[in-house]
Structure 1
Amino acid sequence: MIQKEIDTDQLIAEIIRGIEEVKGDDISILDLRDIDNTVCNYFVICNGTSNTQVNAIVNSIQKIVSKSLKDKPWHVEGSENAEWVLIDYVHVVVHVFQKHIREFYDIEGLWGDAKTTTINSNY
């Protein structure tokens, strides 16, 4: 059980590294473990400025996680129009938005009971 937590922490760290590698903005981690009936333990949310950047973020995350942890997402959805791409790593689900789509859906507001950690990127 403890090993799984370490793996999840490592996965989140590598996801964030993938986002920062291509300058994704407004990174938040939502801890959903204390909320009943959730689909996963964590959401990692970020946004890009265009569909090109959203796809670059998604590709960067997948490449870094695959290379460092030998892990592939269980499912990826939304790459076609790249307004909101969901990358499902089972315990961690990554949401990569275009900024206006993120504001519209307000995932952080919907999951207001979650413990939220904001990552301040240095770029």
Structure 2
Amino acid sequence: MSARPASNEKKVPEAFRTIGELSAELDIPQHRLRYWESRITQLRPVQRAGQRRYYRPEDVALVRRIHLLLSEEGYTIDGVRRVLDQEAGGTPATSRTDRSAKRDAAPSAAKLRAVRALLAKALADDLG
């Protein structure tokens, strides 16, 4: 019998994850996880024979944090590195106001549609 769980079973939270399992669990491509490892020094999964990666629970939590900072907070890889350094006691991170300004610098489609609607209304008011 194999010690591996069947594909429909979930591992316990304390179990190590392979890159494939973590990729599937978080819906992040494996190449992106490897890229993050190359750029973010705090992310260092255990590597066994054949360079097979095993992510510890703290690595999984860090990958989730990195993904959140990149996809929802609008940080760049360098920005994520600075935030993680600051959290580890390094250089100061960007303030919340700076992060908000950064997010506003790259407006979402919904924000752009709202601005377009306001401009269209203002133009209609001027003409009418």
TM-score by length of 2: 0.25
Report the structure, 1 or 2, having the larger helix content.
Answer: 2
Report the structure, 1 or 2, having the larger strand content.
Answer: 1
TM-score by length of 1: 0.26
| Larger RCO (alpha carbons 8 Å, 6+ apart) | 1
